[in-house]
Amino acid sequence: MIEVEARDGAARAGKVVTARGCFSTPCFMPVGSRGVVRLLSAADLETLAPEVVLANTYHLMLRPGAEVVAAMGGLHGFTGWAGHFLTDSGGYQVMSLPCAVDDQGVTFRSSYDGSWQRLTPEGAVAVQELLGADVQMALDVCTELPASRGALELAGERTIAWAERARGAHHRSGQQLFGIVQGGSEPDLREKYARRMAEIGFDGYAIGGLSVGETRPELMMALAATLPHLPEDRPRYLMGVGDPATVLAAVALGVDMFDCVLPTRLARHGTALTSLGKLAVKAAACSTDSSPLDPSCPCPVCQRHSRAYLRHLFNVKEPSAGRLVSLHNLMWLEGLMARARRSVLDGRLSELREQVELVWSRQAREAVRLRSWGPGEPLG
């Protein structure tokens, strides 16, 4: 259930009520696939204070095993993080591996030891009940794009059938269950499967199968076709999207929750998110730069460390480099979500969107220009 506190057009600021308490929206969920956000500790999470952390069913069922996590007090006891957890179903990871999908479930080869494993809608529910997250996701069939209409319809029908089975198998009290809408970039399929998923009845609804090869206009068109057909009193979660401009555009359409590996993956490779766009920390220009990653960022990394120091850490392959930039990137993105929430409350989301779009679209154009520049041609 979501309690909507304010609206700005279709955008909304609210609170999602859970057995653990509540969390504010719109929100971004850092990805902690194996029960940890890469390079960060539970103490770092307390500094970061995300509304929700996402963990991955596929990884945890294989290592260390859901029974081990359950015996240690579930994800909260096992990890030492007392805040909200959401577990995805593992469907996206499974579909990206050698696998065979049938009407009953999916057989796949483990990326850990090569063994063959089986996951069904009921099995995914059982694993996530053992993991003990506050929110679990129904198993879905995620299809990479572009895909034929026939493939999208088959995935959509199986996802609906599996959602019905997941709904019937879910019994853990205090744990919410979200359904996932598929349909690729076809607006009519998105509408159809959104309506049918809503008829089953879930505690919340995710929009899956996007950010898997489609263009941004196609993504936004699919979202626009989906959201009007999901219940107003349930949270809406766009899976796998973390680009700042796309996140704010989705907030404007009525999305409440997001997750993505983008901020931490960029950080490990030496890229920081800033109010002026992406910053290549490893670049020579940072070697004597005493300024922080983002002068407007209040995070502890920006308050203490210079670009020159962080570049040095990357150059000497010091592991703390990725950790520090990961912490900055996540705090920067969490700060953007807080600004988005305030903007909705104040009825000024469009102003924030324009500011962010201007920066990130300019960077995208510059990246295209650099890629198109050939040897011997003047740059500038």
Query: What residues are labeled active site?
Result: 88, 259
Positive or negative torsion for Cα 313, 317, 320, 322: positive
Q: Encode 188-205 in three state secondary structure.
A: HHHHHHHHHHHHHCCCEE
Looking at residue 49, its amino acid is A
Positive or negative torsion for Cα 260, 189, 1, 130: negative
How far is the C-alpha of 209 from the C-alpha of 96, rounded, in Å?
Answer: 12
Please give the DSSP secondary-structure letter assigned to residue 374.
P
Long-range contacts of 67-75 (CB under 8 A, 24+ apart): 67/130, 69/35, 69/130, 69/131, 69/132, 70/130, 70/131, 70/132, 73/132, 74/130, 74/131, 74/132, 74/133, 75/35, 75/131, 75/132, 75/133
Residue pair 40/299 in contact (Cβ under 8 Å)? The answer is no
**281-301 residues labelled b (16+ CB within 10 A) or e (exposed):** beeeebeebeebbbeebebeb
How far is the C-alpha of 146 from the C-alpha of 149, rounded, in Å?
Answer: 9
Q: Is 111 exposed, middle or buried (0-12, 13-18, 19+ CB in 10 A)?
A: middle
Q: Return the half-sphere exposure (C-beta side, CA atoms, 13 A cut-off) of residue 123.
A: 13
Residue pair 29/52 in contact (Cβ under 8 Å)? The answer is yes
How far is the C-alpha of 249 from the C-alpha of 245, rounded, in Å?
Answer: 6
